Amino acid sequence: MLKQQATVTAKTNRSPVRASTKRKRPTKVKTKVLKVSKRKAKQLQCEFAEKHICALLTDAKNNIPSYRSADFQKDVATIKRRFASEGMPFATLSLPKLIQGLFDLIEGRNATYPGFLVRGGHPVFLRGLFHVVINGSEAEKVKGFNYLYSVAVAFKKLKGPYKKSKIQQMFAEFVKVDEDLAEIDLFSEDRLPILQLARQYVKSVIKDITLDSRKCLPRPGPGATNTPLPKHMRFRPHKLFAQIERVLPFMEGWYSSHPYDVIAQSDHYSRLFRDKIYNEPTSRYKVVPKVADKGRGICIEENEVQFLQQAIRRLLTDAIMSCSHTKRNLALNDQRINAILALLSSRTKTNATLDMSEGSDRILRELVSWFFQDNKELHDALMALSTRWIEPPKEADWPGNIRTNKFAPMGSALCFPVMTLVHYALCKAIIRLSTVQDRKAKSRLVYVYGDDIIVPSDCYTAIADWLPRFGMKLNLTKSFNLSHFRESCGIHALHGHDITPVYVKHVPYQRSDGELFSYLTVEQTLFEKGFAETAKLHRSWINKSQGMKMPFVPKDSDLIGFKRPISLFDGLAPQFNVAEIAKRKRWNADLQSWDYLVYVLRRGTQVLKLPSDIDAYLKWQLVHGENSAQIVGSLPGYSFRKRWVPESALTTRKTDKTRINNVPRHPLNWWFTVRNLPSWFSPSPRN
């Protein structure tokens, strides 16, 4: 009788189900998918871009009182007219030229605004915001510049395929840059003193590097390989290159791991030496997304080259980070140093920020050879791993492979540390031999992260004059000295305020699990910057594209939805509705709490077993992983799934506030607080 009564109660009351102890795989979400043709997709892109820019201007009108309604209405009318006549190129090509003219104006260069009517020295379009930026108070300038900048570059980095003609043009420019490097006379009488001093700076960093170090551990590279290989097949060489074998013998790098299987390893090496030996490796040129009208050219190396490059990269990075002369100025693992210095200098104008154009493609191999000659072992390894032959892309229709003069294009593991050290040594030597006051002290204030360089402002002219004489090219459109604007390592600052714009790389016009994360991140950033109307527009388009209403979720959680901060003392903030976040719940007897069924984004994983025990043993020696017999890799893109999570995932505990308040903070200045920086960077707190 009691059993029957319990069954009836369960059927009528529909009480939450007790959580099973067996862990289930997250289930994929079935939603309505909006499929559109290519023509319709272009129309939706233009429609969204037009509404996005108009929404930004609406936010500007709501937050800047001096931006008049009459100017706002004229600007909106111009936007609609230009989109109707030009389409998407108005947002991706024309508008970025507008902000470049403003940069030239504040830096004292000749300002032009191609494609826009100019009256009184300034464009008629957005003249209300231009008036605020030029004539307003400091606070108004920051607000006006923030909105103007966001409008101009919103779709500058919109992703999409590049035309064949554009790829051909990029590769032709790549070849032209390399041909120009061959014409440089490095050892002319005026350049030699700088080279000699810079060589001494490099010597102080690399003098103790030895390839016998325990830190010289090779490993496969993280990206693609020229000869396509799955990741579990990269712990065994498939080609032998004589150029590398003479300096870095494969028997020592690949076959010395298992002393009890010498015969099998020697047989594998002998077959390589007999059947698959090549003189020099070749890398493949490929275009990857950068900005809408121009991609970024990288070169994909062979697996065997990547494997050994990783060892030299680790040695060189460790030497730079441990040297007393460079560890403060070349933080290769932390770009926040340069970013914060740019933020500080946007108020004080103490430092100038320089950006190098085609930075990785303009480091001459002969220059690297000169700088690293004082450590012959390292020098020979760098020269052996420098790719000399590059295979053109199929779209280029080039007659054959090209032989280069550059040391390492982007894509090589050695590109970043070598480029950073070369730029640092040259800049320091140029300042040391210049005529600026207190040049010895100022030569110690050079900070480099790849092609992002920070130097004292009064040294800007000397660097801009001399650095191009060694093959580099200064990107004047992204270098700042005279104004209160600075840009470095991803941060854009004006008068001590971060005004980094929000780039829309994907338009939410159709369902895409892989791009959903980008949609939500852009919406969250817009909301945090105070662009309420623009964030609202994005929410409506995201909901429509996903075929469902996305919930508001806590910012620091793994849940999928529109991220918002929550009150650390009051628990769940009012804007979060548990019924929207989770449609179902169940009681978890193990945790004695409720579990909720929520939406999550998960990147798929792939488990690949290594082909032999020798490969697994080598992987264990080099990587020290727990499971050396397999490779766990991530699949491209994300999948939208449902998953049961405990109640604690929907809120934040009060103890978080106590933990955050107890973190020591050392102010660099009265207006800015630096958190979680190395101890040597933050000065002692003032009393």
DSSP string, 427-463: HHHHHHTS-STTHHHHGGG-EEETTEEEEEGGGHHHH
**Which residues of the chain are under the pLDDT cut of 50?**
1-23, 31-33, 568-573, 653-687
pLDDT on residue 8: 37
pLDDT on residue 26: 53
Token reading at 103? 């940069």
> What does the alpha-carbon distance between residue 269 and residue 276 come to, in Å, rounded to a whole number?
10
97 by Cβ neighbours in 10 Å (0-12 / 13-18 / 19+) ranks as middle
Q: What are the tens digits of pLDDT across the range 130-173?
A: 999 999 999 999 999 999 999 999 999 998 888 999 999 999 99
Four-point Cα dihedral 454, 456, 461, 465, nearest 10:
-50
Q: Are 362 and 181 in contact (CB under 8 A)?
A: yes
Q: What is the DSSP letter of 400?
A: S
> What does the alpha-carbon distance between residue 91 and residue 122 come to, in Å, rounded to a whole number?
19
Half-sphere exposure of 666 (CA within 13 A, CB side): 10
Residue 409 — φ and ψ, nearest 5°?
A: -75, 170
Would you say the C-alpha torsion 9, 10, 15, 19 has a positive or negative sign?
A: positive
pLDDT on residue 575: 55
Nearest one of 144, 18, 130 to 494, comparing CA atoms: 144
> What does the alpha-carbon distance between residue 598 and residue 650 come to, in Å, rounded to a whole number?
10
Pairing mode, strands 497-498 and 485-488: unpaired
Q: Are 128 and 68 in contact (CB under 8 A)?
A: yes
Token reading at 416? 């970043």
Provide the residue type at 290 as one letter.
K
CB neighbours of 632 closer than 8 A, spacing ≥ 6?
605, 606, 607, 608
Secondary structure, 3-state, 615-637: HHHHHHHHHCCCCCCEEEEECCC
> What does the alpha-carbon distance between residue 463 and residue 354 come to, in Å, rounded to a whole number?
9
* Cα of 624 vs its chain's centroid, Å: 28
- In whole angstroms, how far apart are CA 425 and each of 192, 320, 620? 14, 12, 37
Token reading at 475? 């990107």
> What does the alpha-carbon distance between residue 91 and residue 111 come to, in Å, rounded to a whole number?
20
Q: Are 475 and 453 in contact (CB under 8 A)?
A: no
pLDDT on residue 664: 40
Would you say the C-alpha torsion 431, 432, 438, 441 has a positive or negative sign?
A: positive
Nearest one of 376, 363, 470 to 407, comparing CA atoms: 363
Residue 562 — φ and ψ, nearest 5°?
A: -85, 115
- Gyration radius (Cα) of the chain, Å: 29
Four-point Cα dihedral 371, 375, 377, 383, nearest 10:
0
Residue 364 — φ and ψ, nearest 5°?
A: -70, 135
Nearest one of 390, 379, 388 to 407, comparing CA atoms: 388
3-state DSSP assignment of residue 507: coil
What H or E segment, with its residue span, contains residue 298? strand 294-300
Domains for the chain: give ranges and CATH numbers: 38-158 (no CATH), 164-239+281-497 (3.90.1850.10), 513-652 (no CATH)
Would you say the C-alpha torsion 506, 511, 517, 521 has a positive or negative sign?
A: positive
> What does the alpha-carbon distance between residue 76 and residue 53 come to, in Å, rounded to a whole number?
9
What residue spans of 349-438 are helical by DSSP H?
365-371, 376-384, 415-432
pLDDT on residue 600: 81
Q: Are 513 and 640 in contact (CB under 8 A)?
A: yes
> What does the alpha-carbon distance between residue 403 and residue 405 come to, in Å, rounded to a whole number?
7
Pairing mode, strands 294-300 and 282-291: antiparallel
Would you say the C-alpha torsion 557, 547, 518, 152 has a positive or negative sign?
A: negative
pLDDT on residue 215: 79
CB neighbours of 374 closer than 8 A, spacing ≥ 6?
199, 202, 203, 206, 207
